[in-house]
Every structure is written in structure tokens, then in C-alpha cells.
């Protein structure tokens, strides 16, 4: 922690999420500010990390959702930074109802953070860095926006998806290995294609083999409720497992839950085929069971206490059905 705290004193600091969109957003920001130090964080940890910063001239935060539990404290802390440094908060997650936008807050929900980061720093970036933004868009299922579709025309689409797939698979395969993720940022910020980053192709191959194991595991163990299907403790990528839970459970929503023994909670990854707003439902249901949840309308996550998982799943399933009925009227 000491080294991390020392790095948080850097003149230019980038705080970003550790998924493919966050890594690509961070790489774009680092391309605009080559001397910046990059630190990975999350919505739950952001306020804590901000409190570690003693001095910074430019602070860039990418792809970190606003946790509604800390919305007031976070706004206060960020307001102080905005008075003392150049602050850029770039995000695309739905906002808590009581969270208002500020001048330094660059926010759109219809695009990924990578696209938004490129647009914010476009004057400081090579036009070819759009390719990195496209990787992030593909990884975040946001490659169908008008700008990304226009940017893709400048490249061989097949090559783009190969490079993006290589990057995304390797990132998922390495999980929370943030040191590995940090090694990706430097070459990506210089527009090095993922297949030319050492070991990435082999990692992507391993990830593909592992994904087949996940698929077969979910196929055998998935359980279906009325509106959703779920699988518990695959001991593997829960985002992948959630996708296959919906597929093999033949339901609109797929859920994968993994038990975290040290914290006594289940972490959930949830994927929808687009008919209901997962973010809205989770924000209303999860707190009733002592948990938290949110994200995007079709891709979200939650953290639920161990003893509440079964009751949460059934309440969540019921809310999905109610939301579908409202939408059909």
C-alpha cells in the first residue's frame, strides 16, 4: 500500500476501472497525458482512494460509477479537487437520482467510457487512437453507437474484432491481477495492437479454452426461475457464466453468483437480453436484502449477504416479471 500511496501523489493521476472499457479509457487518457500514473479502483473504493491523494495537478477518473451510498461525500471531495486541480470525471453509468452533474463531469449513458474519453481528449490524441476506443466499445457491448460505427469504417472490421477479442479475453482471464492490467496500458496508450503485446495471445487462447469449461459447467448446473436463470459457484468468470445462464436457462436474464468467504457475501454478475432495466431493478431490490447493486440496463452486478441469496433471487425474479408487464402495456 505504501508504494500505491506514494504514486497517488503524482502530478497527473488517472483512476480507472479494471475491465476492458476501463483499461482502454485509461490508455486513452494516458496517451493524452503520457507522464500520468494509472491506478485501478472501483465505485466502492473511489472515495477511499481520493482521500489518499495529497497533491495532484490533473486528476482524471474514468469508467467509475457513482455509488449512491457515498454520493454526497463523493461530490464534496470532488468539488474540492475541482477548485485545486484540473478535474475530469468521465463516466457512462446511470446516475443516482440525487446526483447532479458538474462542469467537470463528462457523462453520457448511451456510449461507453472509452468513446467518451476519446471525445473529451480528442485534441490531445492521434486520430488513430480511435482504434483503442473501439476496443473498449466492443468490450462494453457499446460498439453500435453512431460514432463507433463511423470510426470502424476506417479499419478492417475483422481485424478490429480479433484484436479486441484478444485483449478482452486476456483481461477477463487474469481477473483482478492489476499489475498485469497496468502493463497493458503503456503499449495500448501508444497504439500497439493487442496481439503484439507479449503473452496476450497465449492468455487469450487459455481464456477461450476456459470459457468452454464455463459453458459446459453452466449447461449442467443452471437453475431456472420464472423470468431468470442462475448458477452458483462456478469458480470462474461470473460475467461469462451469467451470459450462458440466460442461454441454457432459456430466460431473459442470466445470473451468476460466486461466494466470497472472507466477506461473507455473494458477488453477482447479471446479464439481460434487453427487455428490462437491470440497473433500476437492482437499485430497488438489493438494499432490501442488505446488499447493493446496479450498473447498466443490460449488464449489472450486485453484492448480497450469504444468508439472503435465495430470497434475493426470488424477489429479483419477481421484479423482472413486473417490469416486463409494465413494458408490455
d(CA 258, CA 245) in angstroms, rounded, equals 13
Predicted confidence at residue 95, as pLDDT, reads: 85
CA atoms within 13 A on the CB side of 307: 1
What does the pLDDT look like over 177-225, one tens digit per residue?
Answer: 999 999 999 999 999 999 999 999 999 999 999 999 999 999 999 999 9
d(CA 199, CA 145) in angstroms, rounded, equals 31
| All cell numbers assigned to 200 | 496476450
Map grid coordinates 437520482 to a residue: 97
Question: Maximum CA pair distance of the chain?
Answer: 56
What does the pLDDT look like over 225-268, one tens digit per residue?
Answer: 999 999 999 988 899 999 999 999 999 999 999 999 999 999 99
How far are the Cα atoms of 68, 78, 99, 130, 144 from residue 72, in angstroms, in the given order?
Answer: 8, 10, 8, 34, 34
What count of residues does the chain have? 329
Sheet with 58-62: strands ordered across: 37-40, 12-16, 58-62, 86-91, 105-107
Predicted confidence at residue 4, as pLDDT, reads: 47
| All cell numbers assigned to 10 | 503524482
Predicted confidence at residue 100, as pLDDT, reads: 75
Element (H or E) spanning 245, and its range? helix 238-249
Nearest to 284 by CA among 274, 294, 299, 275: 294
Backbone angles phi, psi at 270, to 5 degrees: -130, 130
> Please, are residues 292 and 286 in contact by the beta-carbon 8 Å criterion?
yes
d(CA 74, CA 81) in angstroms, rounded, equals 11
Query: What domains are defined for the chain?
Result: 8-198 (3.90.1640.30), 210-328 (3.10.310.30)
Predicted confidence at residue 309, as pLDDT, reads: 97
Residues of the chain where predicted confidence (pLDDT) is lower than 70: 1-7, 329
Predicted confidence at residue 38, as pLDDT, reads: 94
> Please, are residues 242 and 256 in contact by the beta-carbon 8 Å criterion?
yes
Q: At what angle do helices 20-32 and 113-120 cross, to 10 degrees?
A: 10
Predicted confidence at residue 2, as pLDDT, reads: 43
How far are the Cα atoms of 41, 229, 310 from residue 276, in angstroms, in the given order?
Answer: 28, 15, 21
Predicted confidence at residue 329, as pLDDT, reads: 65
d(CA 52, CA 214) in angstroms, rounded, equals 38
> Residue 136 CA to chain centroid, in angstroms?
10
Backbone angles phi, psi at 12, to 5 degrees: -120, 125
| All cell numbers assigned to 14 | 488517472
Report pTM: 0.88
Nearest to 93 by CA among 200, 19, 166, 156: 19
Amino acid at each position: 500500500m505504501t508504494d500505491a500511496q506514494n504514486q497517488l501523489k503524482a502530478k497527473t493521476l488517472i483512476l480507472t476501472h479494471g475491465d476492458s472499457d476501463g483499461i482502454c479509457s485509461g490508455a486513452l487518457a494516458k496517451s493524452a497525458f503520457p507522464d500520468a500514473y494509472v491506478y485501478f479502483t472501483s465505485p466502492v473504493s473511489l472515495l477511499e482512494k481520493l482521500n489518499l491523494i495529497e497533491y495532484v495537478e490533473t486528476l482524471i477518473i474514468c469508467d467509475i460509477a457513482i455509488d449512491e451510498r457515498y454520493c454526497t461525500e463523493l461530490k464534496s471531495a470532488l468539488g474540492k479537487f475541482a477548485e485545486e486541480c484540473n478535474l475530469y470525471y468521465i463516466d457512462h453509468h446511470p446516475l443516482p437520482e440525487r446526483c447532479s452533474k458538474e462542469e467537470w463531469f463528462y457523462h453520457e449513458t448511451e456510449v461507453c467510457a472509452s468513446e467518451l474519453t476519446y471525445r473529451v481528449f480528442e485534441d490531445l490524441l492521434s486520430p488513430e487512437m480511435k482504434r483503442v476506443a473501439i476496443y473498449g466499445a466492443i468490450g462494453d457491448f457499446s460498439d453500435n453507437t453512431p460514432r463507433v460505427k463511423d470510426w470502424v469504417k476506417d479499419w478492417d472490421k475483422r481485424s478490429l474484432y480479433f484484436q479486441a477479442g484478444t485483449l478482452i479475453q486476456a483481461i477477463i482471464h487474469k481477473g483482478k491481477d492489476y499489475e498485469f492490467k497496468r502493463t497493458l496500458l503503456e503499449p495500448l496508450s501508444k497504439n500497439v495492437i493487442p496481439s503484439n503485446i507479449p503473452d496476450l495471445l497465449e492468455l487469450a487462447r487459455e481464456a477461450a479454452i476456459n470459457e468452454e469449461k464455463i459453458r459446459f459447467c453452466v449447461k449442467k448446473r443452471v437453475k431456472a426461475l420464472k423470468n431468470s436463470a442462475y448458477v452458483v459457484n462456478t469458480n470462474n468468470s461470473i460475467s461469462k457464466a451469467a451470459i450462458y445462464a440466460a442461454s441454457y436457462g432459456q430466460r431473459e436474464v442470466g445470473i451468476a453468483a460466486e461466494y466470497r468467504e472472507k466477506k461473507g457475501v455473494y458477488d453477482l454478475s447479471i446479464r439481460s437480453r434487453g427487455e428490462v432495466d437491470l440497473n433500476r431493478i437492482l437499485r430497488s431490490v438489493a438494499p432490501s436484502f442488505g446488499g447493493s447493486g446496479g450498473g447498466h440496463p443490460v449488464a449489472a452486478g450486485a453484492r448480497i449477504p450469504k444468508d439472503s441469496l435465495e430470497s434475493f433471487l426470488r424477489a429479483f425474479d419477481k421484479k423482472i416479471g413486473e417490469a416486463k408487464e409494465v413494458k408490455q402495456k
